[in-house]
């Protein structure tokens, strides 16, 4: 099955271990970015996965392309041009010290990606799914025009369209996000969010919830899922639930509302995760949900696959969720002891 994602892939420079920025004398180098992370996971699950972006012709741009190829993602629709690859710096937190991210992504090549640079009919020919995030929508007017054109082409091709709201306060204000994202929801079939995304991007908030105090009200999330579905006409709404006890220990679960086979919202099983690297956890959930909705018997099974996949990602350094379908199925089926496999 052919799946398409569109967005930015960035150079990631992270401090070794749990060092602080001011301590580090070197950085670990890899690549990552919301939609690229989803494309890699879907390739791991056996899908025909394509990532659409724009990267410079120089060696760092080629390194990003090679990194995607390494994990089975097609570069057929990557446009070459522009001057630079965006960078983000990561300091991994521990215990009560939070992780920190510093962006250096201004004027990245993807921000100049225009609709006329893509053959969108070819991109979406035979595609079953198109995924994008609010991060891409925040990158500027040019790439927003491309995103709208891609949504229209995906709709014309009969592909399901999913959006992970992914609000980033370092990219735009709440007012800018709502003004842009609310109209774009007209294209979206499957909406993926957390409580902050739904509030900052769409102006809808879960009640009686304190994520930093690790206090969640399940009924409040059920009501939020219903309101989102009713307001924007989504077919499916998924909301991830993170209980942050510390940077090292999180509770992790999710809520799904898909009244095609569940008349009421449902909640997944809950995992308690000793965090190794939480970056990309939401993307791992999104890709797991896409895979599940395309291939599982019902939406509850799709939800459990997505939550298990994203649980595993948060135990792996780097942006990409380098797990197999079989490993996800095993965890979703109840095997989470972490015993050595021999």
The residue segments making up the domain with residue 128 are: 2-332
Would 337 be classed as within a structural domain? no
Which is nearest to 113 in space by CA: 89, 148, 88? 148
pLDDT for position 342: 46
Residue labelled with tokens 């401090």: 15
Express each pLDDT in 90-147 by its tens digit: 999 999 999 999 999 999 999 999 999 999 999 999 999 999 999 999 999 999 999 9
Long-range contacts of 324-327 (CB under 8 A, 24+ apart): 324/44, 324/45, 325/44, 325/45, 325/46, 325/291
Q: What total of structural domains would you count in the chain?
A: 1
Phi-psi region of 307 (alpha: psi -120 to 50; beta: other; left: phi over 0): alpha
pLDDT at 273: 95
pLDDT of residue 218: 87
> Is 197 a member of any domain?
yes
Question: Is residue 299 a part of any domain in this protein?
Answer: yes
Question: What pLDDT is stored for residue 206 in this prediction?
Answer: 83
Please give the Cα distance from 319 to 322 (Å, whole number).
9
CATH code, 108: 3.40.1190.20
Q: Which residues are catalytic?
A: 283
C-beta of residue 167 within 8 angstroms of C-beta of residue 143: no
- Rounded to 5°, angle at Cα 206 from 204 and 208: 140
Decide if 114 is inside a domain.
yes
Residue 204 contacts residue 231 (beta carbons within 8 Å): yes
Residue 238 lies in a domain: yes
User: What's CA 165's distance to the chain center, in Å?
Assistant: 9
Q: Flag whether 342 is in a domain.
A: no
Q: Hey, what long-range contacts does 322-330 have (CB within 8 A, 24 or more apart)?
A: 322/40, 322/44, 322/71, 323/44, 324/44, 324/45, 325/44, 325/45, 325/46, 325/291, 328/288, 329/305
Q: What angle do CA 81, 46, 41 make, to 5 degrees?
A: 55
Bridge partners (DSSP) listed for residue 190: 162, 236
Tell whether 338 is covered by a domain. Answer: no
Low-confidence residues in the chain, pLDDT < 70: 208-215, 336-342
In a domain, 187, yes or no: yes
Ramachandran angles phi, psi of 89, nearest 5°? -105, 135
Nearest alpha-carbon partner for 134 in 290, 308, 286: 286
Q: Which residue has the tokens 């999330």?
A: 221
Instruction: Using a cut of 0.75, tell me whether the model's pTM lies above it.
Output: yes
């Amino acid at each position: 099955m052919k799946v398409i994602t569109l967005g930015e892939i960035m150079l990631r420079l992270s401090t070794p271990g749990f060092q602080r920025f001011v301590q580090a004398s070197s950085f670990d180098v890899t690549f990552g970015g919301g939609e690229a992370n989803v494309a890699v996971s879907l390739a791991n699950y056996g899908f025909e996965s394509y990532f659409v972006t724009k990267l410079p012709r120089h060696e760092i741009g080629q390194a990003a392309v090679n990194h995607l190829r390494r994990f089975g993602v097609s570069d057929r629709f990557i446009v070459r041009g522009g001057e630079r690859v965006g960078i983000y710096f990561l300091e991994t937190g521990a215990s009560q010290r939070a992780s920190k991210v510093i962006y250096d992504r201004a004027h990245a090549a993807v921000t100049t990606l225009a609709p006329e640079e893509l053959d969108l009919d070819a991109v979406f020919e035979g595609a079953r799914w198109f995924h994008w995030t609010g991060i891409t929508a925040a990158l500027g007017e040019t790439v927003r025009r491309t995103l709208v054109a891609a949504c229209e082409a995906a709709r014309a091709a009969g592909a399901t369209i999913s959006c992970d709201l992914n609000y980033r306060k370092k990219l735009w204000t709440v007012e800018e996000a709502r003004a842009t994202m609310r109209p774009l929801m007209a294209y979206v079939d499957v909406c993926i969010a957390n409580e902050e995304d739904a509030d900052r991007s769409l102006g809808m908030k879960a009640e009686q919830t304190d994520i930093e105090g690790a206090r969640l009200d399940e009924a409040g999330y059920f009501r939020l899922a219903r309101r989102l579905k009713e307001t924007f006409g989504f077919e499916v709404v998924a909301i991830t639930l993170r209980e942050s006890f510390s940077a090292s220990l999180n509770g992790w679960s999710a809520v799904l509302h898909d009244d095609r086979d569940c008349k009421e919202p449902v909640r997944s099983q809950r995992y308690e995760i000793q965090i190794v690297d939480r970056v990309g956890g939401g993307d791992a959930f999104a890709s797991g949900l896409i895979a599940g909705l395309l291939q599982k018997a019902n939406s509850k099974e799709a939800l459990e696959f997505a939550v298990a996949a994203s649980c595993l990602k948060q135990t792996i350094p780097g942006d990409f969720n380098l797990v197999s379908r079989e490993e996800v199925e095993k965890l979703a089926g109840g095997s989470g002891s972490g015993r050595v496999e021999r």
